Amino acid sequence: MESSNVVINDEVCREAHSENTTPIQDKPMEVDDSLLVDYVGKHSDEELMVLNDAVSVPLSPEPSTPVHKTQQAQHEFSPSSEQKDKMKVMFEMSMVGELTYFLGLQVKQKNSGIYINQAKYARNLVKRFRLDNAAHARTPMAANAKLTNDPSGESIDVILYRSMIRCLLYLTASRPDIAFSVGVCSRFQYNPKVSHLNAVKRIIKYVGGTCDYRLFYSKESNLSLAGFSDSDWAGNTDDRKSTTGGCFYVGANLVAWMSKKQNSVSLSTAEVKYITAGSCFSQLLWMKKVLTDYGISQDTMIVYCDNSSAIDISKNPVQHSKTKHIEIR
């Protein structure tokens, strides 16, 4: 299928997809930093701290500082012993230096950029469910796999199944390649069957062979927002609902992704692709607002879609008679 792209701005998004987009206020986001007034006034705003088991970077008094300059300052900053002692008096904290590991996320910082993965967590996950010696799967799910409620199937331990799903859901924080498969399997947690368990085991076997997969965030990338949208059509055999998928980039860096079953049944591929594109528009508008709060402005944003009919509908913000049923969903 030939790919096409849709170039739209936020005004078209608001008109064409008002049903899927949360209204965005023009008023800048207000942040209460009264607790850090004394700290910001006395110390550099690029100090990396670990406070109460959380990574914290104090707010900058100049939010318009370019991102690349802030990152450079973080590498060059080295707090003195006196500053460390003062911070330990003010906060319950420990200075651990450059961030390398946090809540299962492994961070490796280089001159070219930052690598993030969950290799250690993934290996522990595979070992926990005793699949470390099993043959690795090449894909997380078969291309023609169709999971159903399987009412005649053999029931399994609900606690075990839910535990496996919870572990895999946390792994999707750095593994977009398993987001769809884990999302499909998570739909059957209320009454899992053997067929569902086998599908989850396949995902874990795939993870066992790809533990070292990681995300790379380049310092040389630009800050332009772009999104890619895709979906199946009536992929759920039980209720015939479709699944929305999307990934979002800041420049060349993948920063967000999603895989979610739609709330309504779509009657055509154009309809399901149009709804999917609307969800991606909503996500991009939210990301644009967040970047604006940090002093990074966005002009025209790009969303890529592989359905020409959905693209034609998006170019016409006025809902004519043949698409009113999409507008009210």
Q: Which CATH number fits domain 4-29+222-327: 3.40.390, 3.30.420, 1.10.10, 3.40.50?
A: 3.30.420
Nearest to 276 by CA among 236, 318, 319, 306: 306
The domain ranges of the chain are 4-29+222-327, 34-116, 117-209
Q: Cα separation of 311 and 205, whole Å?
A: 38
Structural tokens at position 312: 């034609």
Q: Which of 233, 231, 205, 212 is nearest to 141 (CA)?
A: 205
pLDDT in tens, the chain (329 residues): 444 444 444 433 333 344 443 443 444 444 444 433 443 344 443 343 333 344 544 443 344 344 444 444 444 455 677 777 788 888 887 777 788 888 888 999 888 899 999 999 999 999 999 998 999 999 999 888 888 888 888 999 999 999 999 999 999 999 999 999 999 999 999 999 999 999 999 999 999 999 999 999 998 888 889 999 988 888 788 788 888 899 999 988 999 999 988 888 888 888 888 888 888 989 999 999 999 998 888 888 888 998 888 888 888 766 666 676 676 56
pTM above 0.75, yes or no: no
Q: How far is CA 46 from the centre of its chain?
A: 26
Give the integer Cα–Cα distance in Å for 300 and 312. Answer: 18
Report the first-to-last Cα separation within the chain, whole angstroms.
Answer: 27
Contact call for residues 199 and 206 (beta carbons, < 8 A): no
